[in-house]
Amino acid sequence: MKVYNTLTRRKEEFVPLEENKVRMYVCGPTVYGLIHIGNARPYVIFDTIRRYMEYKGYDVTYVQNFTDVDDKIIKRANDEGVSTEVITERYIKEALKDAEGLNVEPATYHPLATKEMPHIIEMIKTLIDKGYAYEKNGSVYYDTSAFPDYGKLSGKKLEDLIAGASNRVGADPDKKSPADFVLWKPKKEGEPYWESPWSDGRPGWHIECSVMAKRYLGDTIDIHAGGEDLIFPHHENEIAQSEAANGKPFAKYWLHNGFINVDNEKMSKSKGNFFTLRDIAAEVPYDVIRFFILNGHYRSPINFSRELMEAAGNGLMRIKNCVKGLSFHIENSAGDVMTAEEASLMEKAARFKEDFERAMDDDFNTADAIACIFDYVKFANSSISENSTAAFGKALLDGISELCDILGILPKDNGGDSVDTTEIERLIAERSAAKKAKDYAKADEIRAQLSDMGVVIEDTRQGVRWSFKK
């Protein structure tokens, strides 16, 4: 398995620190509002990478934090006249609800920055003691000049950062260098705070993730991941803090997903093209959103548009209809043992799984992996017939479902349908009763009603088979 490592800027063979175990940290959202479509991409991408590693036999410890102390959280709390805890609890709950909708598996741990204050203070003390940080007027800063490798992740040079920061208006006069960053800052009026040796205040953003990664995964971890916007300064600063404090490499592999653009433009509130995930999910099912995200390589930018989302929905429907058709065949056919011809066909079908794994082993190329699933679906549709055994149908279904489950694109409960099928089944039964009573006008009326619902029905010798329109 090869992964693209942002740190080395090349694909590398994945070799975990400990055999058959993977320790993975993914930066989570700052919880001051509903997550947006851009947040959804790392949720889906790194959940899929975790799923694939588990499929390959790795025991994955997956940590995704929530940033629950931040200027934007404080502003929202003050605007609403409530505590920051009210805001963070509300939006953590909503974020988890969106993650569930996207079929994202819960993290092994979901740490909160506010629950780690003693450990944050302890790491800051260590950095001061080792000469990597200094205190001034109640604030503590990281001394970037004390860390020779600063800039190794982003490729930025410290002298260029200093020159660029020196020209900014409102530079902090307490910093030794404009490139230094804050580890602890004194409280302001109306802000939450914690006691520390330097001041009553709160931590900087970067130190929080360094501490949470160390607490739940150890001094050195296998994979650190997040959006490419976090490479600098957040992940760069995490490296500086963690490696200085722990005296060890921080993360072996750094994975970053690309941006989501909206109608070929960068998403921003000022452009009026900013969408929360909940906005989109009101019009497009969550499973289609997940499928859309996986249709592009995770490192490349992808473009969100209504047309592309509709195309993703049609593609996912092809897979769903195949799964539904195979399930129908299994329920209505005999034969617990495949024929010799069917067994031969299943040997040929093995290539789809091999191609799928080849795509995923090449830096998690989900776009090519989905193409392999489409090939499998086409093969299944052309190979199955009314005369096929139930065993053959089950083998095909199991093969397709296994690959879909790795990508998380078909929830297991109902073959991936995002609608309640009870009403569809009721109408089909009512139509069958009408036909039996020779009330063909009513039967045609119900067929038309089902068509309006996007349902196609087919009368077969095994019974009524239905699917969604492609």
Instruction: Name every residue whose Cβ is closer than 8 Å to that of residue 373 and which is 6 or more positions away in sequence.
Output: 319, 352, 356, 400, 403, 404, 407
Do β-strands 181-186 and 139-142 pair in parallel, antiparallel, or remain unpaired? antiparallel
Percent of the chain with pLDDT over 70: 95
Instruction: Name every residue whose Cβ is closer than 8 Å to that of residue 157 and which is 6 or more positions away in sequence.
Output: 151
- Looking at residue 414, what is its pLDDT? 39
- Looking at residue 415, what is its pLDDT? 40
**Which is more confidently placed, 54 or 452?**
54
Highest mean pLDDT among 50-54, 167-171, 421-425, 433-437: 50-54
Three-state DSSP class for 350? helix
Reported confidence tier of residue 167, pLDDT bands at 50, 70, 90: low
User: Cα dist. 311→3, 82, 186, 318, 459 in Å?
Assistant: 29, 43, 51, 11, 28
- Looking at residue 153, what is its pLDDT? 98
The C-alpha angle with vertex 184 and arms to 179 and 185, in degrees rounded to 5, equals: 95
Min mean pLDDT across 143-157, 228-242, 292-306, 455-469 is at: 455-469
* Residue 469 contacts residue 453 (beta carbons within 8 Å): no
DSSP letter assigned to residue 97:
H
CA 104 to chain CA centroid, Å, is 7
Model confidence, pTM: 0.88
pLDDT in tens, 74-112: 999 999 999 999 999 999 999 999 999 999 999 999 999
Is the predicted pLDDT of residue 156 greater than 70, yes or no? yes
Reported confidence tier of residue 453, pLDDT bands at 50, 70, 90: confident
Q: Cβ–Cβ contacts within 10 Å for residue 106, how many?
A: 12
* Residue 332 contacts residue 462 (beta carbons within 8 Å): yes
Reported confidence tier of residue 34, pLDDT bands at 50, 70, 90: very high
Taking the C-alpha atoms of residue 28 and residue 234, their distance in angstroms, rounded to an integer, is: 12
The token duo for 162 is 């200093």
Taking the C-alpha atoms of residue 327 and residue 260, their distance in angstroms, rounded to an integer, is: 36
- Looking at residue 110, what is its pLDDT? 97
Instruction: Name every residue whose Cβ is closer than 8 Å to that of residue 33 and which is 6 or more positions away in sequence.
Output: 76, 91, 276
Taking the C-alpha atoms of residue 138 and residue 177, their distance in angstroms, rounded to an integer, is: 17
Taking the C-alpha atoms of residue 16 and residue 39, their distance in angstroms, rounded to an integer, is: 27
pLDDT in tens, 314-355: 999 999 999 999 999 999 999 999 999 999 999 999 999 999
* Contacts by residues 75-83 (CB-CB < 8 Å, ≥ 24 positions apart): 75/32, 76/32, 76/33, 78/190, 83/192
- Per-residue pLDDT, averaged over 431-439, amounts to 86
